[in-house]
């Protein structure tokens, strides 16, 4: 391995599965038939503008943990991301992620509860899903899925108006002249991302078409979601969660800065108190993409949590 080339120690197998009329891409580590009630399937779901391959570094680190050498693990590309089909619509709806996940679990583990991990947007999805289908989840891990600022009803007209306006403009994503340029973009987004990881991830985050590298994402994901983030509803999901929940944050996360004072970590902690069994862990020298920044530290926390008595 050179300074510009990452070689996974545990490469994934690429698979496709039809979910709700769309072809979804999966990365599979291990033999799904080896899942047991004590060591069930672990499903990983990525965040907004990311791909399932984003978890490769953490999976490599997790495989080195005792008891995880052969644990079956699956990561999905959400609809319209990575190698999964785009929805065909001009907007994406959060509820579709819940339904896609439900159908995925039906297909991969129809009778046995799973362990579930989500990052960022994926972390928000798994929290709602665990409250919606508590019997399907044995243990839950939320990595930096802090949620959104609470929205008031009076914000709805302006938000819908913005959505309608955006629908009339073509949605576009920037193209890049080379694979190293994509890797540079990834490192600008996250300066902690190791160079060899950035170049490897760039091959999964983008594809070459006509001499340009295009992000593997439907530009429609950039459009505003018109529906409000209704905190009272979200908390009702939280209260229904029966699985133990591990929340992992980076000590250098910049997540809350994006909201200009409208949402704080203290508010998140207050919301988390509604989850019946909630544990918070902080990873040092890590930002929002902590599974890239400190995959070994994340793997150690995940292994300890999933194997706890």
42-51 pLDDT, tens digit each:
999 999 999 9
Query: Tens digits of per-residue pLDDT, 9-39?
Result: 999 999 999 999 999 999 999 999 999 999 9
pLDDT confidence tier of residue 4, bands split at 50, 70 and 90: low
Q: Is the pLDDT of residue 59 over 80?
A: yes
Q: How many CB atoms lie within 10 A of CB 41?
A: 23
pLDDT for residue 5: 76
What is the average pLDDT score of the chain?
Answer: 96
pLDDT bracket for residue 309 (50, 70, 90): confident
Q: Is pTM, for the whole model, over 0.85? A: yes
Kindly report, residue by residue over 250-262, the tens digit of the pLDDT.
Answer: 999 999 999 999 9
Q: Is 253 helix (H, G, I), strand (E, B) or coil?
A: coil
Task: Tell me what the mean pLDDT of segment 58-83 comes to.
Answer: 97
Distance set, CA 225 to CA 3, 27, 83, 90, 119 (Å):
40, 28, 23, 11, 19
In the block, which residue shows the tokens 């987004």?
189
Give the distance from CA 234 to its chain's centroid: 18
Distance between CA atoms of 307 and 223, rounded to whole angstroms? Answer: 40
Residue keyed to tokens 């891990």: 141
pLDDT in tens, 87-105: 999 999 999 999 999 999 9
Q: What are 170-198's pLDDT values in tens digits?
A: 999 999 999 999 999 999 999 999 999 99
End-to-end CA distance of the chain: 38
pLDDT, tens only, 226-244: 999 999 999 999 999 999 9
Query: What is the C-alpha separation between 61 and 64, in angstroms, rounded?
Result: 5
Banded pLDDT at 1 (limits 50, 70, 90): very low
Domains of the chain in sequence order: 13-168+229-306 (3.40.50.1820)
Q: Does residue 167 contact residue 223 with C-beta atoms inside 8 Å?
A: yes
CB 196 within 8 A of CB 1: yes
What's 217's DSSP letter?
B
Angle between helices 179-189 and 195-205 (to 10 degrees): 110
* Confidence tier at 2 by pLDDT (50, 70, 90): very low
């Amino acid at each position: 391995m050179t300074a510009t080339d990452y070689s996974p120690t545990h490469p994934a197998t690429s698979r496709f599965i039809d979910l709700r009329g769309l072809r979804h891409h999966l990365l599979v580590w291990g033999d799904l038939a080896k899942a047991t009630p004590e060591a069930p399937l672990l499903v990983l779901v990525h965040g907004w503008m990311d791909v399932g391959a984003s978890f490769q570094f953490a999976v490599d680190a997790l495989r080195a943990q005792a008891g995880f050498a052969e644990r079956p693990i699956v990561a999905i590309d959400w609809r319209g991301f990575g190698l999964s089909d785009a929805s065909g619509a001009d907007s994406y709806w959060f509820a579709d992620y819940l339904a896609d996940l439900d159908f995925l679990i039906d297909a991969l583990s129809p009778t046995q509860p799973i362990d579930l991990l989500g990052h960022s947007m994926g972390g928000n999805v798994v929290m709602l899903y665990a409250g919606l289908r508590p019997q399907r989840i044995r243990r839950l891990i939320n990595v930096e899925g802090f949620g959104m600022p609470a929205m008031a009803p009076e914000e709805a007209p302006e938000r819908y108006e913005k959505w309608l306006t955006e629908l009339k403009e073509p949605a576009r994503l920037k193209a890049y002249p080379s694979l190293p340029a994509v890797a540079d973009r990834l490192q600008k987004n996250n300066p902690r991302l190791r160079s060899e990881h950035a170049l490897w991830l760039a091959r999964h985050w983008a594809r070459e078409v006509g001499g340009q590298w295009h992000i593997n994402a439907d530009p429609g994901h950039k459009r505003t979601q018109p529906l409000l983030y209704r905190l009272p509803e979200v908390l009702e999901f939280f209260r229904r969660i029966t699985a133990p929940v591990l929340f992992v944050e980076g000590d250098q996360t910049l997540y809350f800065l994006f909201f200009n004072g409208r949402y704080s970590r203290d508010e998140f902690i207050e919301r988390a108190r509604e989850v019946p069994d909630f544990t918070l862990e902080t990873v040092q020298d890590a930002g929002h993409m902590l599974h890239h920044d400190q995959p070994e530290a994340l793997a150690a926390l995940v292994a300890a949590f999933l194997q706890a008595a």
